[in-house]
C-alpha cells in the first residue's frame, strides 16, 4: 500500500496513527481489498490540532463548514401553537379557536387552549433558547390578544405580555424577531368581512401592525408582516384543511391571495410610518423552490424560471410589483381585481426576505417547451419526515436562498423556518434519540453553508421549532421541536438534537 501523498506530491511521513491503522487492516485481512482510505469503522471526526490546520489550509477549509461571522442562530415558534391561555387576560377568539373546536378538523380533536402554556412558562422557555446558544428568537404576536375584535380598543394586558417577553429575551442576550400574523385571525374579522376575502381585513391588519411596531420597535428591530401566505390561503381557503376551513371558487381564491399580498404591503407602509427609525421589515414566506435535478447551467436557469412562476401569486408579486403574465393568463376570467396603485403598495421595498423552507416543490430540467422547464415527478419512495408533505432534499435550502438572491437581488435573507418532524420515542430513561433530525440538520445546513460560502447573503437560521407544539391540523402528535413536550406534565425534555444544535451554534459551523 502506498503512503498517502500530500498536496505537493511528496510522501507524508508516517505517523504512529497511520501505521497502527495499516497494521489493523492487515491483521483484519482487509489490506488486500484496496482500502487505502480510512474505512468507515475507523474514521474519526476532524482530529487535527489548530497547528495542523495552519499547516494545511486547504484541508482545513474543506473540513470545516463555517458560517460567516455574525451569522444568527435561532429558533422559531408561533402564538397559537405554543401560548395556550386562550381565555386569559382579555384575549379575543381567533379563527383557529373556532376551527380547532370543530369536531373532526384536527387529529385527535386537539386544540391550542393550553398548548405548551408558553404564556405562563415563557421565562423557562427563554432559558431553553439561551441554553441552545441561540442568539435570536422568532415568535408571533396573537392579533386577538392585542385587538380582541381585530380592531378598535386595544387590550393592554395583551400588549403587556409581549412587553414582558421581549424584555426577558433582551435581558438574556437574545434578539427578538416578531411576526405580526401567523394565521390566528381574529374571529370577528372573519364574521364581519369574511376575513381574507375582503380588503377590509388587509386594512385592519395594517392598522394593527403599525400599532404593534409603535409599541415594540424601541426594542424589536426586525418585524415580519405575514407568515406563509401560501399556506394560510391555499390550505385555509383552497382545500379547507386549515382555518377557516373554506373551499372557495377559483375567482374567490385569486382575490383572497391578492388581499394577503396587499395586507403585507399596507403593513410595510404602516410599520415604516409608526416605528423607530432603523426598524427593519420583511415577510416570511414559504417560497416554493424548484430544484435543478442535475446542476448543469441550463437546469439551474430552468429552476430559477420555474421558481419565479410557481410563486407568482405570492412572493413574485411582492418582489416585482406585477403579476407574472403566465399567472394572469392561467387565471383567465378568474384573475384578481386590482389597481396599479395596489401593485405599488404590495411591492413597497423591504429590508430583508424571510424564507421558510422544508421541502422542494419540484425537481426540474431545462426544456425547449414554452415554459423553459420540465417538472420531474417525485418517486413514490422519495423520503419524507413523519409529515407526508415534507419530502426531503437538503439542497432545497441552497436553491431557495440562491433563487431569491438571483431573481430579486435581495440583500438580506433569513431562513425563518426549517425543521423536521420525527417519531421522537422516549426511552425509559427519558432520552429522545432523534438521529433522523440530526441527519436532517446536517444535510440542510451543509447546503445553507454552501450558499453563504458562495456569497448568498443569508444572515441567520431559525430552526422550527424550539419545542414540540400544536402542529395545526395534525395536532400534538406531529413533533418538530428540539425539545420534547410532555403534554400531560408540560415538561420540556431535551432531544439529542439539542446537543447538536448547541454545538453548531457555538462553533458557527456545521458539525
At closest approach, how far in Å is the CB of 472 from ligand PNW? Answer: 6
Catalytic-role residue among 228, 234, 304, 361 = 228
**Does the active-site annotation cover 395?**
no
The window from 106-114, 225-233, 273-281, 452-460 that contacts ligand PNW (CB under 6 A) reads: 225-233
The window from 96-104, 199-207, 226-234, 427-435 that contacts ligand PNW (CB under 6 A) reads: 226-234
At closest approach, how far in Å is the CB of 283 from ligand PNW? Answer: 12
Cα Dmax for the chain: 81
Q: With CA atoms as reference, report the closest residue to 125 among 465, 501, 507.
A: 465
At closest approach, how far in Å is the CB of 125 from ligand PNW? Answer: 16
Catalytic-role residue among 252, 342, 361, 417 = 417
Closer to ligand PNW at the Cβ: 450 or 492? 492
The 3-class secondary structure across 266-289, one letter per residue, is HHHHHHHHHCCCCCEEEEEECCCC
Q: Do the Cβ atoms of 343 and 319 come closer than 8 Å?
A: no
At closest approach, how far in Å is the CB of 165 from ligand PNW? Answer: 18
Closer to ligand PNW at the Cβ: 81 or 275? 81
Per-residue x/- marks for ligand PNW, 273-312, CB under 6 A? -------------x--------------------------
At closest approach, how far in Å is the CB of 205 from ligand PNW? Answer: 17
97 binds ligand PNW (CB under 6 A): no
464 binds ligand PNW (CB under 6 A): yes
Closest-approach residue to ligand PNW (CB) = 389
At closest approach, how far in Å is the CB of 241 from ligand PNW? Answer: 8
Q: Do the Cβ atoms of 263 and 208 come closer than 8 Å?
A: no
Closer to ligand PNW at the Cβ: 211 or 480? 480
Neighbours of 47 (CB within 10 A): 7
Q: With CA atoms as reference, report the closest residue to 300 among 378, 403, 395.
A: 403
At closest approach, how far in Å is the CB of 220 from ligand PNW? Answer: 19
231 binds ligand PNW (CB under 6 A): yes
Neighbouring residues of 356: CB distance < 8 A, sequence distance ≥ 6? 227, 228, 284, 285, 286, 287, 415, 416, 417, 418, 464
Closer to ligand PNW at the Cβ: 79 or 350? 79
Size, binding site for ligand PNW by CB under 6 A: 12
The window from 13-21, 58-66, 224-232, 340-348 that contacts ligand PNW (CB under 6 A) reads: 224-232
471 binds ligand PNW (CB under 6 A): yes
Q: Which of 25, 65, 72, 78 binds ligand PNW (CB under 6 A)?
A: 78
Provide the 8-state DSSP code for 313.
I
Per-residue x/- marks for ligand PNW, 378-417, CB under 6 A? -----------x---------------------------x
Q: Do the Cβ atoms of 412 and 459 come closer than 8 Å?
A: yes
Q: Do the Cβ atoms of 143 and 267 come closer than 8 Å?
A: no
Closer to ligand PNW at the Cβ: 96 or 373? 96
Neighbours of 58 (CB within 10 A): 8
480 binds ligand PNW (CB under 6 A): yes
Helices 297-310, 395-408: crossing angle, 10 deg rounding:
80
Q: Do the Cβ atoms of 232 and 260 come closer than 8 Å?
A: yes
100 binds ligand PNW (CB under 6 A): no
The window from 143-151, 194-202, 227-235, 272-280 that contacts ligand PNW (CB under 6 A) reads: 227-235
**Does the active-site annotation cover 88?**
no
Angstrom distance (rounded) from CA 162 to CA 142: 9
Closer to ligand PNW at the Cβ: 78 or 498? 78
Neighbouring residues of 319: CB distance < 8 A, sequence distance ≥ 6? 347, 353, 407, 408, 410
3-class DSSP state for residue 219? coil
Supply φ then ψ for residue 18, to 5 degrees: -65, -45
Strands 352-356 and 413-417: parallel
177 binds ligand PNW (CB under 6 A): no
Q: With CA atoms as reference, report the closest residue to 436 among 448, 450, 451, 425.
A: 425
Angstrom distance (rounded) from CA 510 to CA 365: 30
Which position has the grid cell 454545538?
503
At closest approach, how far in Å is the CB of 140 from ligand PNW? Answer: 9
Per-residue x/- marks for ligand PNW, 320-359, CB under 6 A? ------------------------------------x---
At closest approach, how far in Å is the CB of 129 from ligand PNW? Answer: 17
Closer to ligand PNW at the Cβ: 304 or 417? 417
Strands 352-356 and 280-285: parallel
Positive or negative: CA dihedral 160, 271, 82, 415: negative
At closest approach, how far in Å is the CB of 188 from ligand PNW? Answer: 22
Closer to ligand PNW at the Cβ: 343 or 401? 401
Beta bridge partners of 139: 178
Is the bond leading into 215 cis (omega within 30 degrees of zero)? no
Q: Which of 83, 117, 125, 228 binds ligand PNW (CB under 6 A)?
A: 228
Positive or negative: CA dihedral 366, 368, 373, 377: negative
Angstrom distance (rounded) from CA 327 to CA 331: 6
Active site residues: 228, 417
Give the interface with ligand PNW as residue ranges (CB under 6 A): 78, 81, 227-228, 231, 286, 356, 389, 417, 464, 471, 480
Amino acid at each position: 500500500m502506498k503512503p498517502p501523498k500530500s498536496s505537493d506530491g511528496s510522501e507524508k511521513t508516517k505517523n504512529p496513527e497511520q501505521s497502527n491503522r495499516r497494521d489493523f487492516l492487515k491483521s483484519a485481512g482487509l489490506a488486500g481489498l484496496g482500502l487505502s482510505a480510512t474505512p468507515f469503522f475507523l474514521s474519526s471526526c476532524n482530529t487535527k490540532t489548530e497547528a495542523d490546520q495552519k499547516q494545511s489550509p486547504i484541508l482545513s477549509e474543506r473540513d470545516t463548514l463555517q458560517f460567516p461571522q455574525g451569522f444568527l442562530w435561532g429558533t422559531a415558534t408561533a402564538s397559537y401553537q405554543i401560548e395556550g391561555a386562550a381565555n386569559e387576560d382579555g384575549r379575543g377568539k381567533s379563527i383557529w379557536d373556532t376551527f380547532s373546536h370543530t369536531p373532526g378538523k384536527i387529529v385527535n380533536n386537539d386544540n391550542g387552549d393550553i398548548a405548551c402554556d408558553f404564556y405562563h412558562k415563557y421565562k423557562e422557555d427563554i432559558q431553553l433558547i439561551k441554553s441552545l446558544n441561540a442568539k435570536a428568537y422568532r415568535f408571533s404576536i396573537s392579533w386577538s390578544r392585542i385587538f380582541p375584535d381585530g380592531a378598535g380598543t386595544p387590550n393592554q394586558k395583551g400588549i403587556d405580555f409581549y412587553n414582558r417577553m421581549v424584555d426577558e429575551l433582551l435581558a438574556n442576550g437574545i434578539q427578538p424577531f416578531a411576526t405580526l400574523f401567523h394565521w390566528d385571525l381574529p374571529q370577528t374579522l372573519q364574521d364581519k368581512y369574511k376575513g381574507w376575502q375582503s380588503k377590509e381585513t388587509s386594512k385592519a391588519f395594517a392598522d394593527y401592525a403599525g400599532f404593534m411596531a409603535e409599541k415594540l420597535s424601541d426594542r424589536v428591530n426586525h418585524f415580519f408582516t405575514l407568515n406563509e401566505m401560501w399556506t394560510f390561503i391555499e390550505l385555509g381557503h383552497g382545500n379547507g384543511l386549515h382555518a377557516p376551513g373554506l373551499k372557495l371558487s377559483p375567482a374567490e381564491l385569486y382575490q383572497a391571495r391578492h388581499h394577503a399580498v396587499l395586507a403585507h404591503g399596507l403593513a410595510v407602509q404602516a410599520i415604516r410610518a409608526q416605528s423607530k427609525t432603523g426598524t427593519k421589515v420583511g415577510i416570511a414566506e414559504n417560497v416554493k423552490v424548484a430544484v435543478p435535478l442535475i446542476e448543469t447551467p441550463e437546469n439551474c436557469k430552468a429552476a430559477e424560471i420555474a421558481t419565479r412562476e410557481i410563486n407568482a401569486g405570492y412572493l413574485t408579486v411582492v418582489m416585482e410589483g406585477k403579476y407574472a403574465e403566465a399567472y394572469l393568463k392561467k387565471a383567465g376570467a378568474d384573475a384578481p381585481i386590482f389597481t396599479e396603485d395596489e401593485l405599488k403598495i404590495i411591492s413597497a421595498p423591504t429590508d430583508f426576505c424571510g424564507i421558510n423552507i422544508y421541502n422542494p416543490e419540484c425537481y426540474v430540467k431545462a426544456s425547449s417547451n414554452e415554459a423553459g422547464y420540465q417538472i420531474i415527478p417525485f418517486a413514490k419512495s422519495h423520503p419524507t419526515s413523519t409529515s407526508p408533505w415534507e419530502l426531503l432534499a437538503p439542497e432545497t435550502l441552497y436553491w431557495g436562498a440562491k433563487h431569491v438572491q438571483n431573481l430579486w437581488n435581495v440583500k438580506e435573507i433569513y431562513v425563518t423556518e426549517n425543521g423536521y418532524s420525527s417519531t421522537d420515542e422516549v426511552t425509559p430513561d427519558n432520552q429522545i434519540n432523534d438521529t433522523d433530525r440530526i441527519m436532517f440538520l446536517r444535510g440542510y445546513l451543509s447546503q445553507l453553508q454552501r450558499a453563504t460560502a458562495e456569497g448568498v447573503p443569508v444572515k441567520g437560521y431559525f430552526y422550527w421549532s424550539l419545542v414540540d407544539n400544536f402542529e395545526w391540523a395534525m395536532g400534538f402528535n406531529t413533533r418538530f421541536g428540539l425539545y420534547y413536550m410532555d403534554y400531560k406534565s408540560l415538561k420540556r425534555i431535551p432531544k439529542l438534537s439539542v446537543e447538536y444544535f448547541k454545538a453548531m451554534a457555538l462553533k458557527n459551523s456545521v458539525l
